[in-house]
Structure formats: C-alpha cells, structure tokens
A and B are shown apart, each in its own frame.
Chain A
Amino acid sequence: MNKPLRRIAIFCGLLVLTLLIRDNWLQYVQADELKEDEHNRRVAIERYASPRGDIIVDGKAITSHATTEGDFKYKRTYKDGAMWAPVTGYVSQAYGATQLEAIDDGILTGNDDRLFFRNTLDMITGEKREGGNVVTTLNAAAQKAAYDGLKKQGAKGAVVAIEPSTGKILSMASYPSYDPTTIAGSDNAAGEAWNRLQKKNNPDDPMLNRALREVYPPGSTFKVVTAAAALEHGLYKSADEKTDSPLPWTMPGTTTELKNEGNLPCEDATLREALRVSCNTVFGKVGYDLGNDDMLETAKKFGFTEEQFVPVRSSASVFSDDMNDSQVALSSIGQYNTAATPLQMAMVTSAIANNGTLMKPYMVDALQAPNLDTIEKTDPEEMSKPLSADNAQILQSMMETVVKDGTGTNAQIDGVTVGGKTGTAQHGVDNSENPYAWFISYAKTDDGSSPVAVAVVIEDENAVRDDISGGGLAAPIAKDVMEAVIDSKK
C-alpha cells in the first residue's frame, strides 16, 4: 500500500504548495493593490490615525483637530468654518475631501512623496507620522470683511480679492456657507448635517463655492473688458475722444433698440462718460464694431473660456465664439451668453490695476513639512498681458471717474484712489429671476501701485434693475474689503 501512500503524500504536498502560491499572489503580487483599494477601510483608518496638518492664514491656523470615537482617531475641526469654507473645502471621515483639503491632502496627512525621507526616518525612530501645513495667501481681515458684508446683506453672493502685483488671493468668500466641522466626523450627527447641506434638501446650496464654481452674467462690469478691447484694438485711442454712438441704436440684423437704463447722455459719449453712467448703447456698439473675434481675443487674455486652478479649480467663464452681430453687442455689455465667475472679474480688475499685466491667481503660498521647513513655495507668475500699460492707465482713469462721480461712489475711501465699475445683470426667462448686483474695484496707493482688486456679486431680490444696485449693495462690501487690506498693510 505504500506506493499510493507516497502519491497521496505528493498530493497533499501539492495542496499546500497551491496554498503557498496563492498566498504569494495575494500578499506579494496583489498586496499593494488590495492595500490601497479605495474601499479598504484601512486606508481611511490610516488617514485619520494622526492629526492632520493645518491650513494657515496670516501665520495662524484656521484648522485644528479633535479625537473621535471608533476606529478613526482624529477628525478635522475648523475655526470660523463657514467663513473659510470656500478656501479650505472640507475633509470628512465619511464624505472624503474637497478643494484645498483634497488637493494638498498628501502634505496635510504626511503621505506626500516629498515627506518620504522624513517618514522613513520616523518609522525607524518610532515617531508618529505627522502632517505638514498649507500656508495660504489669504488675508484674515479682508476675508472677515467680505464674509461679514455678505452675511449682513443676507443674500447669496461671493467676494474675491486679489493682490494685483502678485496674483495672491486675499479673500474668497461665499454666502450662504456651511461649517465643515459639522460634517468632519462619521457619526450620525455628521450624516444629518451632510444631508441638510445637500442641494436637494437645501435650495440655498450652501456647499457651492460661489467664488469659483458659479458663473454669473457679469452685466455692466463686463464693459471694462469691452473698453479694454476697444483701446487694445485701436478702435478708440483715449478715454476722452467722442465715440461713434448713435442714440437710439438699433442692433444690426434686428429691429430691436438697445436700451439704456434710464435717460442717459450716451449719444456719441466718450468712453469715460459712457463708463461713468454705464451706457449700454456705447459699449454694445463698440463690441459690434470690434466684432466677435476681437472681443473674444481680449476676453481670453483676461482668462475667459478657461478653467483656472488656484490651485482649486474654478469654472470656466464664458464668452462665445459663434455669435451674430446683435449677440456680440449684447455680450459686450455682459449679457446674452457672457458669464463669469467672481474670480474671473477679480482677475479682470487686477490686470487693469496692475498696469495691464495679469498675474496668475493663487492661494497657496507655501507647503510646509511638519517641522515647518518649506517644501514648496509658489512664486508669482505672469499669466498674460491683456492690455498695454498705457491703455491700462487710460482704463484706470475711467474707472476712477466711475467711483469719483459715477455709479460707484459708495466705494470711495478717504485718502485712497479707488477705481471701479458697477453692474446689474438680469437673468432668467424674461428676466424673471433675481438680478445680480456686481461691483468690481481696485485701490491704488500714492506710489501708483495697487494692493488689492476685488469683485463682489450679490444675488438680491431687492436689487432694482439698474446700475445703482451694484453700487448700492455690492460696492460697500468691496470698500470694506479694500480698507481691510490697506489697513493690514500699514
């Protein structure tokens, strides 16, 4: 009987060999794939096993952490979470991470490859892994001014402020907002908070980052882009030459007259005067005279039609490339298809204030290792040059007139030169929905440099459909933000 016994022994050996091969397949060949599978809870357990690094504004952390029950040890907490939510995004044990928290997740959790050497060292010395910090460009005072201003209005809206000379984002507020701390955990409370914040349960959609992700018709604020196009393409050479602008003006190819808001002195008005009182006829005609291609070229140079990464992605602002004459005319006064994110309009303002050079907007100044060594520093970068320095200064003087004795007087600041433009955009079928009140502006110090450019948009049911509302509702917020930036520089 021993021959079959030996064969059975070989058979049993093969059984064990099969198991060993399978084990090698699982724990060696497939190990990494299984280990890093998104559904493998260990990934999340590891992720929340140590406190996350912080997001820093003006040298102070706007984030912190708390311990939680269960197998996730730490959760994120936020100071003034609602105010900072458009900057930070959220990171939740149950719902993942978005925006800055997601983009710089590697640094914040300490898993980034650039921390590899340190992590390996920690593993040997038995130190616990730590996360690094994300240092932002934001200005706490400006952010507070922006958020408080929106909150006081109580209407949906957003503010973006940029430092024109560098592209640093100083303020990015959205209202209504949400406190990401409430959804940071994985308990029932977090789940309920999450459900309450979802758009289907909350028509205000508080988790929408309006500063980056919502496009609004820019209305009359777009006229500065049209004016820039007119100067750049040589249609008009100065702010004070008479334009060829009939009143009333019937849009080419239609029988529709383009209307101004009220009885404005727009016939053959200079660009300065037309911007001051916000003539639709003048800028509509300018856009028509330039044509779709020239308008699009200038709009693109300001950043239209492209998503921006600051590094959080913003929606692409819209200026169409296939319009007929009347559509170009309407688009040139910020209507028809034209739509812009608040970030986009802040970029437009910032380029004008920076003498025609558009700096790439960014909000992460540096990434720090856990011991505060700088791992990566963002340097200001020129993005494009939408208009020449001379033309930029012409446009600046026009915008300063708007604030001095035009529709934007609410933005005046004592001892500071301010240039701006109001806007009210109608939307909805037959303009049935609430109009948007816009204000874009910059401040200029005595040496001619500009510390801040800002764009404010408010969706307000009380806004009347004229430019006054842009000046009335949005301009005071812009003013507060600019003041906050100027004060913090002193």
Chain B
Amino acid sequence: MSSTTNPSTHHTSTIGAIGAPSRRNTELALLVFAVLIPVFAYANVGLAINDEVPAGLLSYGFGLGLLAGVGHLVVRKFAPYADPLLLPLATLLNGLGLVAIWRLDQSELLQDIKQAGTAAPRQLMYTAMGIALFVAVMIFLKDHRVLQRYTYISMVTALFLLLLPLVPGLGKNIYGAKIWIQVGSFSIQPGEFAKIVLAIFFAGYLMVKRDALALASRRFMGLYLPRGRDLGPILVVWMVSILILVFETDLGTSLLFFGMFVIMLYVATERTSWIVFGLMMSAVGAVGVASFEPHIQQRVDAWLDPMREFMLSRANQVGHSEQAMQALWAFGSGGTLGTGWGQGHSELIRFAANSDFILATFGEELGLAGLMALLLLYALIVERGVRTALAARDPFGKLLAIGLSGAFALQVFVVAGGVMGLIPLTGMTMPFLAYGGSSVIANWALIGILLRISDTARRPAPAAPANPDAEMTQVVRP
C-alpha cells in the first residue's frame, strides 16, 4: 500500500485516485473490530441470560473470524484495490445479527412456538455459504463488465425468480405475503436474488438505451417529457411491479424493484422527469392496488392504527397480527440506552421475531443510541456503494453500483420503516441482520459485486497509456 509514486494523469472527476494505496491493511484492522465487537456482544448475552460466558464463545468467534479472514485474503489476492470498508461493515452487521439470533434462540417462548431455538447455527451456516458465494464472485468475476454480456439472460432470470413464488406447490404464503418458495426443508426468498440480477439487467439495458431515453424528448413546463414510445420500458417494469404487488401481495418487494429502476433510469438519463413519472406511477399503483387487495388494505390499516390491530388480534380475529404494536412497544421500552443485551422482551413479537422484526430486538436492547449506530452502519454501506458508482469509470459499472446501493438503501428503508411504523409493514428482511439464508447469501454476493466494481475503479491505470487520446475517452461527464 505504498506506491504513491505513480505521478501519472490527473483525471477530472473520478475519485479512484490513480495510484491510491490499496487500503488492505485498513480493512484488516477494521475486520478485527468487526469480529471482536460481536464476540463481546455474544459474551454479553450469555452473561445476561445465563450468568455465564456462553460455551460456544470460542468456536463462534473463531468461526466468524475465519470467515472474515477468508474474505479478507481473497479480497487481498483478487481485488487488492477494493473499497476497504464494505467487507468489515458487512461482517460486523452479519456478526451482530448472529448474536441477536442466538439471543432470541434462548427465549423459551420462541422455542415453544418453534420460531427460534436452533436458528443461530443455521444462520452461521448460511453466512459461510454467503462468504463462499462472495469468494466465488471475487475469484470468477475478474471484471464486472463481463456481466454486461448477460443483460437479457438476466432479464429472463429475474422474471423467472420473481414469478417462482407464484408457481403452485412451490410458493409459500407466510402471513399473506407470497414471496417465499419451499424447496425441501428450505424456504427461499427468490426476490433477494432477483434484486441483483435485475440490477445487472437494468444496468446493461439502460447503458444501451440511455441516449435515446435522454435526448428524444420535448420540454414542457420545465420538464423533459419523454416520447410516448420511450415510455415503454418504465411501463413494463411498472406493470411487473404491480403484478408483484397484486399476486405476491408484498408492497416492499414491489416498491424495491420499481424504485431501483427509477433510480437507475434517472442516473442513466439525467432527466428529473423520470423521477416525477416514477413517483406518480408508484403512487397510482400503490393506491390503486390497495383499493381492492384486502391483504394490502389490512397492512395499511395496521400501520395507521396498530393498537386497533392489536386489539383485533387479541380478540382472535382471523388475519390480524399484534406484531406491529409489539414491535413499537419493544422500541419504546428500549428507550435511549436500551435494556442491554439479553434483557429485553422482544420475544413478545413472536412470529418472525428473529427475521423481519429483528430490528426491534436491537432497538429494545441497544436503545436509541445503538439503533442509530446500526442505521449509520447501513448508511455507510450505501455511502461506500454510491462512492463506488462515482468512482467507476464505465457507465455500466456506475449504473450497476448505484442500482445495487440504491436497492440496498430502499430495502433498509422499507424494512426499518415498516418495523418502526413509519410505513406499512412488508415481508422483506434487514440485510445481514435478519435470520434467513436467501437474504444473507444474496447480500454477500451484492457486497462482492460492489467490491469488484470498486477494485476496478480504484485500480491504478496500467502504465502510461500508449495513446493519450485513448485516455480522454475514459473521462466521464461530471
């Protein structure tokens, strides 16, 4: 991480300073913290619940450390100039998630209703699988631009993944939302994988079409109105999102995909009018569907008046759930500083306490202070992702990076906002924290792709270019 000796070209805007230090040792130092903090948290839970340091402390710490170490070594070898923060951030979130899941495993109430008990070891296994996929991305994806070739295959794959939960016998309805499929004893959320594949498709597609979408337009009241035929793509994505909303009845998934598309469209075309269109279309779609889809209506009602929903649930009304109110109580009971690990009662949320609602456990036991820190960790991941997009030197990389980070930010907002009662609840999970294989594995792959793009962006340019003109073609518009 020495060489600042390369005095070569001064590029206009990209931040990926040529000849920048690789920052791999920074990453290693941060990773030590990212492993130690969950280990201490784990000890803390054990001491609070059973008055003893948990027996699995060493193996747990060793396991997390090993996984992080493997990740680090692979990055050091295959993506030496990658962003140094993303891997430690993901490791820290994943580790804290494991602690919270283990903590909920200790709850007799959740054990009795089969909502927890052996979730933590499984989550550790999923984490290993996630890191394995991460390693595979690092090793086999030498250059993210390769993905460009798979633009239309990605589209087909994404549609396939999105439609899977609707296949009879395969799809699974959990509390009204049909975004899972059941394979053997595993429940898979194909949407988590579709998120990445769709980002690849949008990036590839928009890179090709951006000029047509951006330039051919008429000006009307300060907005560039696209031509009718250019509305095609956004209409198609909108229709698909509406279909997801109607048939899978999950507002979050629908919002996530449409939002991701609008963000990428805006970045690709630089036309604010797309944002306006996007907002209008999502509003029309959401309100329209909510007006006839009872499950969405019920989610909205529960959001508007969680106490009423709680009472209906207590009165054994079918289809009502007290989760929303229980989550609010968990947050409120945590207060400013929280109860401390293992001393809250977030198990009262019962169903999905360690997955969709895991944020409530953090809110109650770590308090406002801890939860804000946690949200800022997510913000940092998004920030590193956007920075990667800024630094990327190719439009495909830029679009892919902003698509993935934008989707990540939207997912965090939709899930955290849902659990905290800011927006209606959805069936998605908090990346890295929540129990669930699909989420962990897919998000590790997402981090892998972001690292690959950032490595390409920050990698020192090959020695002085033969033709200085060629270099000029790399300049990206500010």
What distance in Å separates the Cβ of B304 from its nearest Cβ neighbour in chain A?
15
User: Are B409 and A19 interface neighbours, CB within 8 A?
Assistant: no
Report the Cα distance A200→B378, complex, angstroms: 58
Contact residues in A for B361 (Cβ distance below 8 Å): none
Contact residues in B for A23 (Cβ distance below 8 Å): 331, 363, 368, 371-372, 375, 420
Contact residues in A for B325 (Cβ distance below 8 Å): 39
User: Are B382 and A1 interface neighbours, CB within 8 A?
Assistant: no
Report the Cα distance A37→B268, complex, angstroms: 49
Of the candidates A13, A26, A45, A71, which one forms a contact with B331 in the assembled complex, judged by CB atoms under 8 Å apart?
Answer: A26
User: Are A19 and B476 interface neighbours, CB within 8 A?
Assistant: no
User: Are B333 and A8 interface neighbours, CB within 8 A?
Assistant: no
Contact residues in B for A42 (Cβ distance below 8 Å): 329, 333, 345, 348
User: Are A2 and B368 interface neighbours, CB within 8 A?
Assistant: no
User: Are B422 and A34 interface neighbours, CB within 8 A?
Assistant: no
Of the candidates A7, A24, A34, which one forms a contact with B328 in the assembled complex, judged by CB atoms under 8 Å apart?
Answer: A34
Contact residues in B for A37 (Cβ distance below 8 Å): 329, 332
User: Are A27 and B334 interface neighbours, CB within 8 A?
Assistant: yes
Query: Is there a chain A Cβ closer than 8 Å to B266's Cβ?
Result: yes
User: Are A26 and B332 interface neighbours, CB within 8 A?
Assistant: yes
Contact residues in B for A12 (Cβ distance below 8 Å): 379, 382-383, 386, 405-406, 409
User: Are A1 and B398 interface neighbours, CB within 8 A?
Assistant: yes
Query: Is there a chain B Cβ closer than 8 Å to A117's Cβ?
Result: no
User: Are B332 and A15 interface neighbours, CB within 8 A?
Assistant: no
User: Are A34 and B372 interface neighbours, CB within 8 A?
Assistant: no
Query: Is there a chain B Cβ closer than 8 Å to A20's Cβ?
Result: yes
User: Are A35 and B333 interface neighbours, CB within 8 A?
Assistant: yes
Of the candidates B307, B310, B413, B477, which one forms a contact with A19 in the assembled complex, judged by CB atoms under 8 Å apart?
Answer: B413
A331-369 vs B, Cβ < 8 Å mask (1 yes, 0 no): 000000000000000000000000000000000000000
Of the candidates A8, A41, A45, A71, which one forms a contact with B386 in the assembled complex, judged by CB atoms under 8 Å apart?
Answer: A8
Report the Cα distance A174→B135, complex, angstroms: 77
Tell me what chain A mostly uses at the interface: helix, strand, loop, or mixed. helix
B416 (CB) vs chain A CBs: closest residue: A19
Interface residues on B, range: 35 or more
Report the Cα distance A15→B266, complex, angstroms: 17
User: Are B345 and A5 interface neighbours, CB within 8 A?
Assistant: no
User: Are A15 and B390 interface neighbours, CB within 8 A?
Assistant: no
Of the candidates A8, A27, A71, which one forms a contact with B345 in the assembled complex, judged by CB atoms under 8 Å apart?
Answer: A71
User: Are A71 and B417 interface neighbours, CB within 8 A?
Assistant: no
Report the Cα distance A412→B333, complex, angstroms: 62
A1-23 vs B, Cβ < 8 Å mask (1 yes, 0 no): 11111111101110110111011
The verdict on A18 contacting B413 (CB below 8 Å), with A1-B268, A1-B270 known, is: yes
Query: Is there a chain A Cβ closer than 8 Å to B8's Cβ?
Result: no
User: Are B336 and A28 interface neighbours, CB within 8 A?
Assistant: yes
User: Are B382 and A16 interface neighbours, CB within 8 A?
Assistant: yes
User: Are B348 and A20 interface neighbours, CB within 8 A?
Assistant: no
What distance in Å separates the Cβ of A366 from its nearest Cβ neighbour in chain B?
34
User: Are A1 and B420 interface neighbours, CB within 8 A?
Assistant: no
B364-403 vs A, Cβ < 8 Å mask (1 yes, 0 no): 0001100110011011001100100110000100110010
Query: Is there a chain A Cβ closer than 8 Å to B99's Cβ?
Result: no
Query: Is there a chain B Cβ closer than 8 Å to A321's Cβ?
Result: no
Query: Is there a chain A Cβ closer than 8 Å to B478's Cβ?
Result: yes
Contact residues in B for A6 (Cβ distance below 8 Å): 390
Query: Is there a chain A Cβ closer than 8 Å to B340's Cβ?
Result: no
User: Are B379 and A27 interface neighbours, CB within 8 A?
Assistant: no
User: Are A20 and B375 interface neighbours, CB within 8 A?
Assistant: yes
Of the candidates B268, B333, B383, B478, which one forms a contact with A9 in the assembled complex, judged by CB atoms under 8 Å apart?
Answer: B383
Query: Is there a chain A Cβ closer than 8 Å to B421's Cβ?
Result: yes
Query: Is there a chain A Cβ closer than 8 Å to B312's Cβ?
Result: no
Binding site for A on B (CB under 8 A): 13, 109, 263, 266-268, 270, 307, 310, 325, 328-329, 331-336, 345, 348, 363, 367-368, 371-372, 375-376, 378-379, 382-383, 386, 389-390, 395, 398-399, 402, 405-406, 409-410, 412-413, 416-417, 420-422, 476-478
Supply 15 further A-B pairs (C-beta < 8 A) apart from A5-B386, A18-B417, A31-B335. A5-B389, A7-B266, A8-B402, A13-B379, A19-B416, A20-B375, A23-B331, A26-B363, A28-B336, A31-B334, A34-B328, A35-B329, A35-B332, A39-B307, A39-B329
Cβ contacts A to B, 25 pairs, < 8 Å: A1-B398, A1-B399, A1-B476, A2-B478, A3-B478, A4-B267, A8-B266, A15-B412, A16-B412, A19-B413, A22-B420, A22-B421, A23-B331, A26-B332, A26-B420, A27-B363, A27-B368, A28-B368, A30-B332, A31-B335, A34-B332, A37-B329, A39-B307, A40-B329, A70-B109
